[in-house]
Structure 1
Amino acid sequence: MSFNTISVVGLGYIGLPTAAMFASRKKNVIGVDVNQHTVDTINRGEIHIIEPELDMIVHATVKEGYLKAVIKPEPADAFLIAVPTPFKDSKSAIPEPDLSYIEAAANAIAPVLKKGDLVILESTSPVGATEQLAEWLSQARTDLSFPHKVGEEADINVAHCPERVLPGHVVRELVENDRVIGGITPKCSERAIELYKTFVQGQCVVTNARTAEMAKLTENSCRDVQIAFANELSIICDKLDINVWELISLANRHPRINILQPGPGVGGHCIAVDPWFIVSKAPDESKLIHTARKINDFKPNWVINKVKIAITDFLQKNSNKSLKEVTIACYGLAFKPDIDDLRESPAMAITRELAKFHKGQVIAVEPNIHTLEGENFRLCSLEQAGVQADIAVLLVDHKEFRAMERPPIDSIVDTKGIW
Structure 2
Amino acid sequence: MSRFSTISVIGLGYIGLPTAAMFAAQKINVIGVDTNAQVVDTINRGEIHIVEPNLDEAVRVATRDGYLTAQTAPSPAEAFLIAVPTPFLGENRDPDLSYIQAAARAIAPVLQPGNLVILESTSPVGATEAMADWLASARPDLTFPQTAGEASDIRIAHCPERVLPGKVMEELITNDRVIGGITSKCADDAIELYKTFVAGECVRASGPRAAEMAKLTENSFRDVNIAFANELSLICDRLDIDVWELISLANRHPRVNILQPGPGVGGHCIAVDPWFIVSSAPDQSRLIQTARGVNDHKPDWVLRKVRAEVERYLADAPGKDVSDVSVACYGLTFKPDIDDLRESPALHIARRLNVDHPGPLLAVEPNIKVLPEGLDGARLVSFDEARAMADVHVYLVAHRDFQSAAGQMDYQVKTVKL
Which category of TM-score, normalised to the shorter sequence, fits these structures?
over 0.9
The CA distance in 2 between the partners of 1:373 and 1:209, in whole Å, is 36
Question: Could you tell me how far 1:373 is from its partner in structure 2?
Answer: 4.8
Change (3 A) 1:153 1:175: same
Sequence identity percentage: 64
3-state SS of paired residue (1:8)? strand
3-state SS of paired residue (1:72)? coil
Whether contact under 8 Å (1:83, 1:102) holds in the other structure is yes
**Cα deviation per residue 1:45-97 (whole Å; 9 max; x = unaligned)?**
00000111110010001000000000000000000000000011x233xx100
Matched, 1:69 2:70: yes
3-state SS of paired residue (1:363)? strand
Paired residue type of 1:109:
I
Paired residue type of 2:301:
W
User: When the two structures are superposed, what TM-score results if normalisation uses the length of structure 2?
Assistant: 0.97
Whether contact under 8 Å (1:118, 1:157) holds in the other structure is yes
The CA distance in 1 between the partners of 2:132 and 2:46, in whole Å, is 33
Paired residue type of 1:311:
V
Paired residue type of 2:164:
L
Q: Which moved more, 1:366-375 or 1:290-299?
A: 366-375
> Within 5 Å, which residues of 2 pair with 1:12-411?
12-88=13-89, 90-92=90-92, 95-207=93-205, 208-374=207-373, 375-376=375-376, 377-409=378-410, 411=411
Whether contact under 8 Å (2:108, 2:139) holds in the other structure is yes
Question: Could you tell me how far 1:311 is from its partner in structure 2?
Answer: 1.3
**Cα deviation per residue 1:379-409 (whole Å; 9 max; x = unaligned)?**
1111110111100001000011112153442
The CA distance in 1 between the partners of 2:313 and 2:404, in whole Å, is 26
3-state SS of paired residue (1:413)? strand
Structure 1, unpaired ranges of 5+: none
Whether contact under 8 Å (2:51, 2:338) holds in the other structure is yes
Question: Could you tell me how far 1:417 is from its partner in structure 2?
Answer: 8.4
Aligned CA RMSD, in angstroms, stands at 1.2
3-state SS of paired residue (2:327)? strand
**Cα deviation per residue 1:313-334 (whole Å; 9 max; x = unaligned)?**
2112212212111000000001
Whether contact under 8 Å (1:245, 1:417) holds in the other structure is no
The CA distance in 1 between the partners of 2:413 and 2:3, in whole Å, is 56
Whether contact under 8 Å (1:392, 1:407) holds in the other structure is no
Q: Which moved more, 1:22-31 or 1:395-404?
A: 395-404
The CA distance in 1 between the partners of 2:409 and 2:198, in whole Å, is 48
Paired residue type of 1:308:
R
The CA distance in 1 between the partners of 2:382 and 2:116, in whole Å, is 48
3-state SS of paired residue (1:318)? coil
3-state SS of paired residue (2:282)? coil
The CA distance in 2 between the partners of 1:254 and 1:122, in whole Å, is 38
Q: Which moved more, 1:292-301 or 1:307-316?
A: 307-316
Question: Could you tell me how far 1:31 is from its partner in structure 2?
Answer: 0.2
Change (3 A) 1:116 1:332: same
Change (3 A) 1:405 1:330: closer
3-state SS of paired residue (1:284)? helix
Whether contact under 8 Å (1:161, 1:181) holds in the other structure is yes
Other-structure match for 2:414? 414
Which runs of 4 or more aligned residues in structure 1 lie more than 4 Å from their structure 2 counterparts after TM superposition?
none
**Cα deviation per residue 1:326-349 (whole Å; 9 max; x = unaligned)?**
000000001001111000000000
The CA distance in 2 between the partners of 1:269 and 1:91, in whole Å, is 17
Change (3 A) 1:86 1:408: closer
3-state SS of paired residue (1:404)? helix
Change (3 A) 1:134 1:381: same
Paired residue type of 1:307:
V
Question: Could you tell me how far 1:198 is from its partner in structure 2?
Answer: 0.6
Change (3 A) 1:197 1:417: closer
Paired residue type of 1:163:
E
**How many corresponding residue pairs?**
414
Whether contact under 8 Å (1:330, 1:393) holds in the other structure is yes
The CA distance in 1 between the partners of 2:320 and 2:271, in whole Å, is 39
Paired residue type of 2:181:
G
User: When the two structures are superposed, what TM-score results if normalisation uses the length of structure 1?
Assistant: 0.97
3-state SS of paired residue (2:312)? helix
Paired residue type of 1:195:
L
3-state SS of paired residue (2:7)? strand
3-state SS of paired residue (1:231)? helix
The CA distance in 2 between the partners of 1:408 and 1:204, in whole Å, is 47
The CA distance in 1 between the partners of 2:199 and 2:372, in whole Å, is 41
Structure 2, unpaired ranges of 5+: none
Question: Could you tell me how far 1:142 is from its partner in structure 2?
Answer: 0.6
3-state SS of paired residue (2:283)? coil
**Cα deviation per residue 1:142-193 (whole Å; 9 max; x = unaligned)?**
1001111111111000000000000000001000100000000010000000
Whether contact under 8 Å (2:143, 2:154) holds in the other structure is yes
Question: Could you tell me how far 1:43 is from its partner in structure 2?
Answer: 0.1
The CA distance in 2 between the partners of 1:242 and 1:24, in whole Å, is 52
